[in-house]
Amino acid sequence: MITTGSIAEIQSLIRKYKAEGKKIGFVPTMGALHDGHLSLVNKAREKSDIVVSSIYVNPTQFNNQEDLQHYPRKTEQDKSLLGNCGCDILFLPSDEIMYADKSIISFDFGPLDKVMEGEFRPGHFSGVALIVSKLFNIVQPDFAYFGQKDLQQLSIIKTLVKDLLFNIEIVSVPIKREPHGLAMSSRNERLSEEDRKEAKIFYEALNAAKNIISEKKSTEEAKSKVQELFKNHKAELEYFEIVSDKDLLPKSENYLAPDTVLCIAGFIGNVRLIDNMYIIS
């Protein structure tokens, strides 16, 4: 695996591979890799001749500076994992490379970035769109792979690609879960063993709501059940929404449809977790 932090070097490599007719698959990450990330790399291997990954903890997408400071960083371990699962090039830039000057560009995605994560993390998706745009311009991939766990981010990036005419196919990869159901996340590194067990409530709440809606088609009962599960629990519920994956707006009818997705977020201590589940999977 070739590792570089130089834009000129990675672009030279990409130009050479493209001149040979090779397809480029790209997996952008913020490091602290787990099996969910590696599933993206494995998926990229299926359609791509060359797999490129990046590790960069992007400061502009953090509205909570404490979260940025505590975000887990395991670069040497990550490099080993990527090399072992077939990544060809790792782009490992510094802040000085990615933000040589303070950026004045911001993005507004209308309703897409005002609900759920956008409501509770103002400015987050503008930062995501900014760094993804930079990485797409640097790597120029044919395919880019993102996990379904960050469903709202996935919708934002698809909109970004469509509106800015990036010639890139966005590929969604299903959520990878820990044995008790907790969605794999780099932030799980900050949970104690006890907290990891407690955090399974997010998965349990999604399943309970899915069962209620599937059997009774009652969204109000599903929402009440989720709130009840979090009462007197160590975990704190921030939101639970039943939305369409097309626009992320709350659904008012036709709940038993392929686009209906249950979205949840909350805290275990000071660690914020998100998850989602489709009604029809």
Residue 233 among known ligand-binding residues: no
Give the distance, in angstroms, between the CA of residue 51 and the centroid of all CA atoms in the same chain: 18
Residue 184 among known ligand-binding residues: yes
**Active-site position among 37, 70, 180, 233:** 37
Residue 142 among known ligand-binding residues: no
Residue 34 among known ligand-binding residues: yes
The closest alpha carbon to 27, from 188, 183, 172, 182, belongs to 172
Residue 36 among known ligand-binding residues: yes
Record the tokens describing residue 245, joined without a space. 């994956």
Helix (H) or strand (E) holding 170: strand 169-173
Residue 35 among known ligand-binding residues: yes
Residue 183 among known ligand-binding residues: no
165: left (phi over 0), alpha (psi -120 to 50) or beta: left
Residue 32 among known ligand-binding residues: yes
Output b/e per residue, 17-48; b: 16+ Cβ within 10 A.
beeeeebbbbbbbbbbbbebbbbbbbbbbeeb
Is residue 37 annotated as a catalytic residue, yes or no? yes
Instruction: Count how many residues are written for the chain.
Output: 281
Residue 153 among known ligand-binding residues: yes
Residue 149 among known ligand-binding residues: yes
Residue 227 among known ligand-binding residues: no
Cβ atoms < 10 Å from Cβ of 89:
22
Give every CB contact of residue 93 below 8 A, 6+ residues apart in sequence: 5, 7, 54, 56
Binding residue ranges for beta-alanine: 61
What residues are labeled active site? 37
Binding residue ranges: 30-37, 61, 147-150, 153, 184-187
Binding residue ranges for (R)-pantoate: 61, 153
